[in-house]
């Protein structure tokens, strides 16, 4: 791992702002989209890290927010997936208005704890439980993609909680990752489940997080939990009840941020 890639992991100097040009766009749902940026000078990142995004108006007013990086490292490119928040200041611009060729600034990578890498301290075989609520799936998807990129066979399970089927981001890819890459994927619905679903809609429960019978018993799994603060706190409580500990749970909360 180069010195640059460890930035954000070791609490070194805060990364500087870099200009980023929008070069790709994909709708994920009616209210979320993925934005790909070219960022000359980008130092690289690890799956799970995030960036600060800064928008500056002609009169000099600026606003910044944090967004998880959705894809594994790829030269000087980064992708983010943004869920539009009603009445929000920044997310509606990113989801509805920003056009190819437009620029903003990014600073990163940021975050050294909420990362997954088979070359870090975790052994490759350590089973990984990913639990995401809403847009909290974004850094977890980066981990799923990193696992595929590195041809890792670490047992991975993603439990993804959404309000209803229309809110599922990366739906086709998740199906493919389950079929081709052996990632166990469970989508839970809190308000409205698809027709024929065996699980009634509702909050995530202990049963939803039970360890798969196929996982090795000799290695304690690690959990990554991400989403709104209430979702994260509730899930951590369930995981502690299942025998996870503060050492085997890593969490990231997507509350309001920046200004």
Do the beta carbons of residue 35 and residue 28 sit within 8 Å? no
What binding mask, one character per residue, do residues 94-133 give for ligand FAD by CB under 6 A, x or -? ----------------------------------------
With binding defined as CB under 6 A, does residue 138 bind ligand FAD? Answer: yes
- The pair phi, psi for residue 223, each rounded to 5°, is -115, 140
Q: Which is nearer to ligand FAD, 39 or 80 (CB)?
A: 80
> Which residues, 6+ apart, have CB-to-CB distance to 48 below 8 Å?
68, 111, 114, 115, 116, 139, 142, 143, 224, 252
The 163-202 site mask, x for binding ligand FAD (CB under 6 A), equals ----------------------------------------
* Binding residue for ligand FAD, selected from 65, 145, 177, 189, defined by CB under 6 A: 65
Pattern of binders to ligand FAD over 17-56, x per CB under 6 A? ---------------------------------x------
Rounded Cα–Cα distance for residues 153 and 148 (Å): 8
- Position among 83, 117, 161, 235 found at the interface with ligand FAD (CB under 6 A): 83
Q: What are phi and psi of 189, to 5 degrees?
A: -115, 130
Q: What mask of x and - would describe binding to ligand FAD in positions 237 to 256, judged by CB under 6 A? A: ---------------x-x-x
Residue 68 as a binder of ligand FAD (CB under 6 A): the answer is: yes
> Among 85, 104, 126, which Cα is nearest to 38's?
104
Structure tokens at 45: 């990142």
Least spacing, CB of residue 90 vs ligand FAD, in Å: 3
What b/e string do you get for 9-38 counting C-beta neighbours within 10 Å, with b at 16 or more?
A: beeeeebeebebebeeeeebbebbbbbbbb
In this chain, which stretch among 41-49, 74-82, 155-163, 192-200 interacts with ligand FAD, using CB under 6 A? 74-82
Cβ neighbours for 234, distance < 8 A, ≥ 6 positions apart = 203, 204
Helix (H, G, I), strand (E, B) or coil at 102: coil
Q: How far is the CB of 35 from ligand FAD (least distance, A)?
A: 10
For the bound state, the minimum distance from the C-beta of residue 94 to ligand FAD, rounded and expressed in Å, comes to: 8
Which one of residues 87, 99, 172, 207 is an interface residue with ligand FAD (CB under 6 A)?
A: 87
Parallel/antiparallel/unpaired status of strands 17-29 and 32-38: antiparallel
- The site map against ligand FAD for 207-236 (x = CB under 6 A) is ---------------------x--------
Residue 49 CA to residue 112 CA, distance in Å, equals 7
SS3 content of the chain, % helix, strand, coil (to 5): 20, 30, 45
Q: Under a CB-based contact definition with an 8 Å cutoff, are residues 45 and 143 in contact?
A: no
67 belongs to the binding site for ligand FAD (CB under 6 A):
yes
- Could you tell me the smallest distance in angstroms from the CB atom of residue 243 to ligand FAD? 27
Residues of this chain that interact with ligand FAD (CB under 6 A) are 50, 65-68, 80-83, 85, 87-91, 135, 138, 228, 252, 254, 256-257
């Amino acid at each position: 791992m180069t010195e640059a890639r460890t930035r954000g992991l070791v609490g070194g100097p805060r990364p500087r702002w870099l200009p980023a040009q929008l070069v790709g766009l994909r709708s994920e749902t009616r209210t979320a989209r993925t934005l790909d940026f070219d960022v000359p000078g980008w130092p690289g990142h690890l799956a799970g890290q995030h960036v600060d995004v800064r928008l500056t108006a002609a009169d000099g007013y600026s606003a910044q927010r944090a967004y998880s990086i959705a894809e594994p490292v790829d030269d000087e490119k980064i992708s983010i997936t943004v869920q539009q928040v009603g009445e929000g200041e920044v997310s509606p611009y990113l989801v509805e208005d920003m056009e190819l060729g437009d620029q903003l600034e990014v600073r990163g990578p940021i975050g050294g704890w909420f990362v997954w890498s088979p070359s870090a301290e975790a052994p490759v075989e350590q089973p990984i439980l990913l639990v995401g609520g809403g847009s909290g799936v974004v850094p977890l998807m980066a981990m799923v993609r990193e696992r595929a990129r590195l041809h890792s066979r670490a047992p991975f399970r993603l439990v993804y909680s959404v309000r209803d089927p229309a809110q599922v981001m990366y739906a086709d890819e998740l199906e493919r990752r389950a079929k081709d890459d052996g990632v166990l994927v469970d989508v839970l619905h809190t308000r409205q489940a698809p027709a024929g679903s065996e699980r009634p809609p509702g909050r995530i429960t202990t049963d939803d997080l039970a360890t798969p019978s196929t996982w090795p018993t000799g290695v304690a799994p690690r959990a990554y939990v991400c989403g709104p603060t209430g979702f994260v706190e509730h899930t951590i409580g369930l995981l502690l009840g299942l025998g996870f500990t503060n050492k085997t749970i890593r969490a990231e909360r997507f509350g309001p941020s920046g200004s």
